[in-house]
Structure 1
Amino acid sequence: MILPPLLLGRVQFTVCLGFLAFFMALALALSWLLLFFKLKARASGNAGWTAAYRFWVRIFALAFVLTLAAAVPVLVQVGTIWSGLMDRIGNVAGPLLGFAVLSVFALKSCFLGVMLFGQRRVPEAVHTLSVFMVALGQLVAVFWVLALVSWMQTPDGAVAVDGRYQVFDWMAVLINPSLKLTLGINVLLAALTVAFMIMGITAWQALRRPLDDGERLGFRVALVVACLAIVALAPAGLKAANMIAHYQPAKAAAAAGFWNEGDSPDLLLFGWPDAESGSNLGSVAIPGAAERWLGRNVNGKLLALENYSGMQPPVALTFWSLRVMVYMCALMFVAAWATLLRLRTRGLDPALLSRGWLRALSALTFSGGLVLLSGWVLTLAGLQPYVVNGAVTQTEVLSAATGRGLMYGTLGYVLLYGLLLWAFVSMLFHAARYGVVPIRKFARAAA
């Protein structure tokens, strides 16, 4: 059975972009955390900070390489699956993607070698500067990518002339209505992803052997980052919901499961949106609580899914991707703050936690990544059937690729990315079990 090419194209692109987003977030948050470790090591002279840096810089290197590798299929698919896209938005997307690539090579790659291999070959100040430049380059590259993604969600600063977008205000393109929230939320999710990964790995280590100073210090930093990021994410998420209601009311209606104008705008906690019946099956809801997060027409009436007949996003996928984000964030909030309160008078030492508590933290190692991926699914699925909100549909830019070719390509990418994820996780736990290879001190030649 061959699925429709449009569906296969959506699945393949979502899989590849999700893989890229996960490792891009890891590299972003780890780069700044490594800079913090370096600065603390220089300021305090505590060897534990250096040990924490030496362990997690190996994981950063893996994430960096996988980010570069994952970016290539995404760029290729823009031409092979969405072959008409660059013809429509190339004047906007081309410069932004070009600056992203330039940022990678100018600010990251030029300093990456010094960061990874020059710790004992260059002065400490030079090495610290290289770590900072890599972190800065990572942030700048992510900025250009998210600027393009946010522009496609809320296009501004460009107008379509004969089907092609022409830019009339680059500042409006860059600082489009959703950029600040898109950038802020993705940075917070990246911080959560890395924080819970460090906490989970440290908890896993504590279950098997005594922790060293570097592992304790890494856990303390990760715990504080997790607590701050999860609190900051709540108001950012509420602002994002209001923005979606204003600019993407169809996505808001799908996320709320709001089918008909005459329905009560209930906040659904659980349920299954059924497209055939236009209702939510087995729903548990708070009556009238979703009204503020739904779009309205010029007359002030709430916009329901029935207003977008034939142009609705995939309702069940949009609905549940949002709830996975919310429920996992609630679980992570409880885990982070309960751990902080439990250890607040004991130096935030994870070795003092019970084995059951350590197992729970270990089980949440990749919870931040799950939230991050759910957010990207919500972003991509909720935009459908458009690729540029309200202007360009995916059908218009879909290539002439056959369903069979897309199906084989999708299966190939799923298998490849599954293998790479397995390898990454295996190497992560191998390093956690056995540690890292010591850095050899090179003797200076006698003068």
Structure 2
Amino acid sequence: MDPILLARIQFAANISFHILFPTITIALGWVLLFLKLRFDKTGDAAWMDAYKFWVKVFALTFALGVVSGVTMSFQFGTNWPGFMERVGNVAGPLLAYEVLTAFFLEASFLAVMLFGYGRVPNRIHTLATLLVAGGTSMSAFWIIVLNSWMHTPTGYEIREGVVHATDWMAIIFNPSMPYRLAHMMLASGLTVAFLMAGLSSWRWLRGDHSPGVVRALKTGVVLGAILIPIQMFAGDAHGLNTLKHQPQKIAAMEGIWETERGPGLVLFAIPDAATRTNNYEIKIPYLGSLILTHSLDGEVKGINEFGNDHPPVAPVFFAFRIMVGVGVLMLLVSWWGAWTLRKRGITPTLARVLVGMTFSGWVATLAGWYVTEIGRQPWLVTGILRTGEAAGPVAATTILGSLIMYLALYAALLLAYILTLMHLARRPTAPEPEKLGGQGSTKPLPAE
């Protein structure tokens, strides 16, 4: 067994599990702020009921995100020591900024957000929610900065084989960072939208028709309907940026082997790396060129143009189609759902469809992440550090043993997470007078 391949699989498993949870907390913090502001403005207890349920989901998700993120740091030192040895002068400070400016902010005010309602002034509780939401976004910002720099490195020089920063503004605002950040933030919003709609629909189907459940369901559907077309626009802009800076990734995503003008859009194929062709190809003429270059006769470099310096085609090709396919499904379901809610209200059919889409955001996010990260191969940091050069001298059997333990633990934690969500959803909403202003004071609220 190849220890480098096993180390890559182990890190992929780790980050695949970890990314599930920040994908939720990044946007859920802002949704919680929206729910809280609506309650503050209207005094309607339904908004606070929704807040109280989803803040529990946030806390559970945040905890798993922290735990799963710690193990990645260990792997930098065990399986990939060459990464920090070569680019630690850039990666180290960026990771430190994430901890100092974002994680501490989230952790400091999370307790106030969770337990402070009715115990601190209402404005302080709302402010705590705002600070936690801002902290999650700031955390995402720094992580995306580092990841984007690994794809499109700028603002550095190499001295004696080691990367040194020369321009931090160029490093932070590297060519692909704005596109990746927008794409990730929107992906988080869509993940939360369908999680809210799906879990609330499951509660509704179980007989909990309380106003808080209905508000959360409608919020999820409307949020998804608004964000998915914006995500498609952002994805198109990101694709143009990738074509400019990582054309080999685009070639793999689209299954284009030979450089050509006006390439068609490959809807389906089975890429064959041995013959460097596509089997069972279904293609729409010129559409690929129109999407990729916004021109019918635009030139797109093929995979063969890059020799062996290109990513494995099949994983990138299929992951991209899964991401796009789920995105189109999100568009159809959210727009149909918004129309149904407007015309007929919640129906059993709509609720069942939304339940089926509960974790669709996870599927799309993972597929997109695989496109991004596998599409960077064989580089760990493009043009600077190859993946094989960063691997440590760890025996394959050692990596395999820890990989099996990781996978077993992740499967158990993921199952526990989903079961806990279902347990929370089974608990009926118990309306009661809401506390306002802190210090134990109460104020009756109008009924729905």
SS at match of 2:358: coil
Structure 2 counterpart of 1:395: 388
SS at match of 1:344: helix
Give the 3 Å change call, closer, same or farther, for CA 341–105 of structure 1 in structure 2: closer
Q: Structure 1 residue 280: deviation in Å?
A: 1.1
CA–CA separation in structure 1 for the residues paired with 2:440 and 2:386: 63
Equivalences for residues 68-217 of structure 1 within 5 A: 68-217=66-215
- From 204, 215, 222, give the equivalent of 1:224: 222
Contact in 1 for aligned 2:197/2:219 (Cα 8 Å): no
Contact in 2 for aligned 1:192/1:230 (Cα 8 Å): yes
Contact in 2 for aligned 1:294/1:303 (Cα 8 Å): no
CA–CA separation in structure 1 for the residues paired with 2:90 and 2:377: 20
Give the 3 Å change call, closer, same or farther, for CA 204–160 of structure 1 in structure 2: same
Determine what percentage of the aligned residue pairs are the same residue: 37
CA–CA separation in structure 1 for the residues paired with 2:101 and 2:439: 35
Give the 3 Å change call, closer, same or farther, for CA 45–262 of structure 1 in structure 2: closer
Deviations 1:241-282 (A, max 9, x none): 111111111111111111123697221111111111211111
Structure 1 counterpart of 2:412: 419
SS at match of 2:287: coil
Normalising to structure 1: TM-score of the pair?
0.92
CA–CA separation in structure 1 for the residues paired with 2:67 and 2:178: 27
Q: Structure 1 residue 443: deviation in Å?
A: 8.9
- From 66, 69, 73, give the equivalent of 2:64: 66
Q: Structure 1 residue 21: deviation in Å?
A: 1.5
Equivalences for residues 187-336 of structure 1 within 5 A: 187-261=185-259, 265-291=263-289, 302-336=300-334
- Structure 1 letter corresponding to 2:18: L
Q: Does 1:429 align with 2:422?
A: yes
Structure 1 counterpart of 2:43: 45
Between stretches 60-69 and 71-80, larger displacement belongs to 71-80
Q: Structure 1 residue 208: deviation in Å?
A: 1.9
In the alignment, structure 2 segments of 5+ residues that lack a partner are: 442-448
Give the 3 Å change call, closer, same or farther, for CA 238–15 of structure 1 in structure 2: same
- Structure 2 letter corresponding to 1:368: G
Q: Structure 1 residue 311: deviation in Å?
A: 2.3
CA–CA separation in structure 2 for the residues paired with 1:310 and 1:236: 30
In the alignment, structure 1 segments of 5+ residues that lack a partner are: none
- Structure 2 letter corresponding to 1:119: Y
CA RMSD of aligned residues (A): 2.1
Contact in 2 for aligned 1:268/1:285 (Cα 8 Å): yes
Give the 3 Å change call, closer, same or farther, for CA 337–262 of structure 1 in structure 2: closer
CA–CA separation in structure 1 for the residues paired with 2:237 and 2:440: 57
CA–CA separation in structure 2 for the residues paired with 1:358 and 1:444: 38
Give the 3 Å change call, closer, same or farther, for CA 262–102 of structure 1 in structure 2: closer
Deviations 1:406-440 (A, max 9, x none): 11222221111111111111011111112479999
Q: Structure 1 residue 444: deviation in Å?
A: 5.7
CA–CA separation in structure 2 for the residues paired with 1:264 and 1:242: 15
Between stretches 406-415 and 34-43, larger displacement belongs to 406-415
Between stretches 186-195 and 20-29, larger displacement belongs to 20-29
Normalising to structure 2: TM-score of the pair?
0.92
CA–CA separation in structure 1 for the residues paired with 2:195 and 2:312: 31
CA–CA separation in structure 2 for the residues paired with 1:129 and 1:339: 33
Structure 2 counterpart of 1:25: 23
Q: Structure 1 residue 321: deviation in Å?
A: 0.9
CA–CA separation in structure 2 for the residues paired with 1:166 and 1:365: 44
Q: Structure 1 residue 376: deviation in Å?
A: 0.9
SS at match of 1:166: strand
Contact in 1 for aligned 2:260/2:301 (Cα 8 Å): no
SS at match of 2:21: helix
CA–CA separation in structure 2 for the residues paired with 1:397 and 1:165: 14
Give the 3 Å change call, closer, same or farther, for CA 301–341 of structure 1 in structure 2: closer
Contact in 2 for aligned 1:5/1:401 (Cα 8 Å): yes
CA–CA separation in structure 1 for the residues paired with 2:292 and 2:398: 39
